[in-house]
Structure 1
Amino acid sequence: MADNTSTGSSGSAAKASDSSKKVGLIGLVGIVISAMIGGGIYNLPQNMAADASAGAIIIAWVVTGIGIWFIANTFRILSAARPELTNGLYTYAEKGFGKLIGFFVAYGYWICNCFALVAYSVLVMATLDYFVPDFSGGNNIPSIIGGSIITWIMYLLALQGAKSTSFLNIIGTIGKLLPVAIFIIAVATVFKFSVFMEGFWGMKGTIDLTFSWDNVMPQVQATMLVTLWLFLGIEGAVVVSGKAKSQAAVRKATTIGFLVTLALYIIVSLLPLGVYSQADVGAMADPSMAAIMLDKFGKWGEILVNAGVIVSVLSSWLVWMLMLGEMPLAASKSGIFPKAFVKENKKGSPSTALLWTTIIVQIVLVISFFIGSNAWTTMISITSVMALPCYLFCTLFLFKIAIKKEYPEGIFASRNMAVFTGAAGSLYGLWLIYAAGLNYLMVACIVYAVGLPLYIVGVRQHDPKAKLFAKTSDKVIVAVVVALGIAGLVYSIVTFGHVKL
């Protein structure tokens, strides 16, 4: 309240001070690219070739590129159409479909990316095993201890705020792109088109298969969770848009980040297939980029890639810590997360949200010890599946405001473009849910159902007299979520046995 009664000069000074804490275009681009390009790109050749031939991979990238563009364009359009909604995913879902759906998006996005941070821990510790043996698998006891130390260091860095760490994000982005660029240039020198065309649509024994939908589409579908995982973070600039200098910078950063990242993913996944067969690439050890560099260029290439993995993952880890604090903060301000989450420190960082994020990551990190050798795959699959509803409700929100003529005039995208983008993005999201398969969908259902008490506590703290689930639609949603949670628990016990996914 004191700000409203201050003098003009002090108001201007406050505004200038606030502006100095904002993140500009370069910083936002760094956030978007760092959020998307984690350690996954270094194992991308093997991840894609394990299930798909060169032709299927090309189709997969076309499908993914178009689908993710609709999601990216959704965020671009919404940042212009509803610029007052400065916390992205949660606020879009809440404004479009009510507080309960808004809660599930905020909670789901928050928790699923806590799993992503554990995936980062597994990867970085497994890579450190190359330099300092003892971290085998990335989730043994020394790895859990090392990952825990890094987790709490990232928490302390994130407390310094988005502006204070934007320089680190830029440096980290450069550090992660340099080894990738060297890999691309080096492998291009040994690329042979004749090798690339062998088994272009797949091999059956020694027989070179021809194109058929029955052969190719299962290959394409098998890559979808991998490609979705790689693009998690496309919303990075939108999530921290409240800390951005302008919404125009948010739109530009989203576009630049998407195009740069897509180009790199396509090249990195296809180039090795002009050097090795699909079977050889698909059988390579993690990270496959390092295996290729060692085989073709010697020890220096392997060291470069492994060092790149560590820099890349640590950079993305910091970006995600910054992003994850924003979602519970916004949800608490809207009255659906407990009041404690609204607390910010002097640097403008959501200190309580960051603390609880770190605690949850720590808990899941300990749990990863019991998962065994599948820890990395399990974490990225749960992350991808739980992120799907978050993206889906954003595209549905755009579609809703466009068809209901709540869409503003005079912005860069027409209403028809908004309708088409929202509809196409929603269809892509639904297809991804189908492609994800039942196993991880069931796990996601359990995690979403477990979050309901958090909503109840949050609403009661902000308004003790508020009626929970007053709308019929809310009652239906709760019943469905609880039923799916129970079904998921039963399914997981029966299917996975001792929680081994």
Structure 2
Amino acid sequence: MTKQRKMGFFVLTALVIGNMMGSGIFMLPRQMAEVASPLATLLAWIFTGAGVLMIALVFGNLAVKRPDLTSGAQSHAYAFFNRPKAKQMAGFIAVWSYWVANWAGNVSLITSFAGYLSVFFPILNSRDSFVEIGEFTITEGQALTFAVCTVLLWGIAFIISKGVSGAGKINLVATVAKVGGFFLFIIIAVFSFQSVKMGAFYHPVYDSSGLKEGLLSQVNSAAIVTLWAFIGIESALMFSGRAKSGKAVQAATITGLVVAVMLYSLISILALGLIPKEKLIGSASPLADALNSVIGSGGSAVMAILALICLFGSAIGWVMMSAEAPYQAAKKRYFPSLFK
């Protein structure tokens, strides 16, 4: 990667929001409704949001007070030890683990993009035979999905190769669009909200074995779901070596978290007032069904477009992260130099 212009507050904030809010948000209302009452859902967001805020503050303070640590958590692991071999091993394990985890995340984002694209191009779900090799059959839908995923991945790689700063700005545009779309959904939900559909603000929930779960058990179950939603909080810190300042990293991390928590919690609660809980739990596309109940069948298309925007922006952000992690590690010599 060639030397790029430094990233500012808005680009870094977009990376934090965009990487946290991928495809998962579209299933959150259903996942939360399955395990918790509205009160427990709200408390789970408050408690986990406060806990992750502590992590965000740590990341922000490290960016300000240790500007020499420019490659995220891997450089912190490296700096923790004094012995050279221990430093190298800690740095390598941190970056390798993070990098490998990103592979699976990128696959999920890219294949989900093709899945939502099938709303407009049903041929992506075609089960007609395309190629047969012995007993193994590749369908037309699988072949076209592979082609879409390949073009998307290499297209993003091409964008990033032209400059990380430029890719960050494209991610900023996608993030503004997705946040705007979710705010529009929230506004529609506020004016269409029906408390009778949501039911009691607190009520017992029964697990798969039929046992009744009280408030604390519900909060615990919901917190397991909410914590997954914060993956990506480290995004600005990972690019601290390209940031204009440590303060920009600090502000972007905290701002991105606050915006994400606000959107997550509002969408999780308001969706309960658009369709009955029983229908929400049984829905394969809860936000689309919630919007359909207000504006008609067009809700599915609107949500599919919003999902495509979300996934495109998140894919850019996570592919950038997947390239930045080994690149910075190679510069610090605890990853092979060919990754520079």
TM-score band (shorter)? Answer: 0.7 to 0.9
What is the alpha-carbon distance in structure 2 between the residues aligned to residue 23 and residue 116 of structure 1?
Answer: 24
The aligned residue for residue 494 of structure 1 is none
Pair 1:108-2:97 in alignment: yes
Counterpart amino acid of 1:89? A
Q: Of residues 181, 187, 190 in structure 2, which corresponds to 1:179?
A: 181
The 1:201–1:136 alpha-carbon spacing in structure 2 relative to 1, beyond 3 Å, is farther
The SS at the match of 1:131 is coil
The aligned residue for residue 329 of structure 1 is 327
What is the alpha-carbon distance in structure 2 between the residues aligned to residue 215 and residue 141 of structure 1?
Answer: 48
Q: Of residues 308, 311, 314 in structure 2, which corresponds to 1:313?
A: 311
What percentage of residue pairs aligned between the two structures are identical?
Answer: 29
What is the alpha-carbon distance in structure 1 between the residues aligned to residue 293 and residue 199 of structure 2?
Answer: 21
Counterpart amino acid of 2:161? L
What is the alpha-carbon distance in structure 1 between the residues aligned to residue 200 and residue 143 of structure 2?
Answer: 43
Q: Of residues 109, 116, 120 in structure 2, which corresponds to 1:127?
A: 116
Counterpart amino acid of 2:333? G
8 Å CA contact retained: 1:239, 1:327: yes
The aligned residue for residue 30 of structure 1 is 14
The 1:134–1:47 alpha-carbon spacing in structure 2 relative to 1, beyond 3 Å, is farther
Counterpart amino acid of 1:219? Q
The aligned residue for residue 248 of structure 1 is 247
The aligned residue for residue 299 of structure 2 is 301
What is the alpha-carbon distance in structure 1 between the residues aligned to residue 224 and residue 117 of structure 2?
Answer: 26
- Please give the per-residue CA displacement for 1:202-236, whole angstroms capped at 9, x wherever unaligned: 3459xxx9xx9x53344333334532332111111
8 Å CA contact retained: 1:198, 1:277: no
8 Å CA contact retained: 2:36, 2:205: no
- Please give the per-residue CA displacement for 1:103-127, whole angstroms capped at 9, x wherever unaligned: 2211111111111111112321111
- Please give the per-residue CA displacement for 1:464-487, whole angstroms capped at 9, x wherever unaligned: xxxxxxxxxxxxxxxxxxxxxxxx
Counterpart amino acid of 2:337? K
What is the alpha-carbon distance in structure 1 between the residues aligned to residue 236 and residue 165 of structure 2?
Answer: 13
- Please give the per-residue CA displacement for 1:256-292, whole angstroms capped at 9, x wherever unaligned: 1111111000000010112333332121113x21111
The aligned residue for residue 41 of structure 1 is 25
8 Å CA contact retained: 1:161, 1:322: no
Residue correspondence of structure 1 range 43-442 to structure 2 within 5 A: 43-97=27-81, 98-136=87-125, 140-198=142-200, 200-203=202-205, 214-286=213-285, 288-342=286-340
What is the alpha-carbon distance in structure 2 between the residues aligned to residue 23 and residue 146 of structure 1?
Answer: 30
Counterpart amino acid of 1:161? G
The aligned residue for residue 130 of structure 2 is none
What is the alpha-carbon distance in structure 1 between the residues aligned to residue 94 and residue 313 of structure 2?
Answer: 25
The SS at the match of 1:50 is helix
8 Å CA contact retained: 2:109, 2:311: yes
What is the alpha-carbon distance in structure 2 between the residues aligned to residue 78 and residue 237 of structure 1?
Answer: 12
8 Å CA contact retained: 1:53, 1:278: no
Counterpart amino acid of 2:114? M
> Which structure 2 residue ranges, 5 or more long, are not aligned?
82-86, 127-140
1:162 Cα deviation (Å)?
Answer: 1.8
What is the alpha-carbon distance in structure 1 between the residues aligned to residue 310 and residue 258 of structure 2?
Answer: 19
Counterpart amino acid of 1:296? V
The SS at the match of 1:319 is helix
8 Å CA contact retained: 1:50, 1:283: no
Computing the radius of gyration over CA atoms, which structure comes out larger, 1 or 2? 1
Count of equivalent residues: 317
- Please give the per-residue CA displacement for 1:4-63, whole angstroms capped at 9, x wherever unaligned: xxxxxxxxxxxxx97x71111111111211111212222221222232221221121122
What is the alpha-carbon distance in structure 2 between the residues aligned to residue 204 and residue 230 of structure 1?
Answer: 24
What is the alpha-carbon distance in structure 2 between the residues aligned to residue 150 and residue 128 of structure 1?
Answer: 12
Counterpart amino acid of 2:110? S
What is the alpha-carbon distance in structure 2 between the residues aligned to residue 317 and residue 53 of structure 1?
Answer: 32
What is the alpha-carbon distance in structure 2 between the residues aligned to residue 147 and residue 110 of structure 1?
Answer: 20
1:152 Cα deviation (Å)?
Answer: 1.4
TM-score (norm 2): 0.86
The SS at the match of 2:6 is coil
What is the alpha-carbon distance in structure 1 between the residues aligned to residue 314 and residue 89 of structure 2?
Answer: 30
Counterpart amino acid of 1:105? A
Higher relative contact order (CA 8 A, sep 6+): 2
What is the alpha-carbon distance in structure 1 between the residues aligned to residue 224 and residue 97 of structure 2?
Answer: 17
The aligned residue for residue 423 of structure 1 is none
Counterpart amino acid of 1:36? M
What is the alpha-carbon distance in structure 2 between the residues aligned to residue 121 and residue 164 of structure 1?
Answer: 21
Runs of 4+ in 1 over 4 A off after TM superposition: none
What is the alpha-carbon distance in structure 2 between the residues aligned to residue 199 and residue 330 of structure 1?
Answer: 48
1:341 Cα deviation (Å)?
Answer: 0.9
The SS at the match of 1:46 is helix
The aligned residue for residue 487 of structure 1 is none
8 Å CA contact retained: 2:15, 2:317: yes
> Which structure 1 residue ranges, 5 or more long, are not aligned?
1-16, 343-501
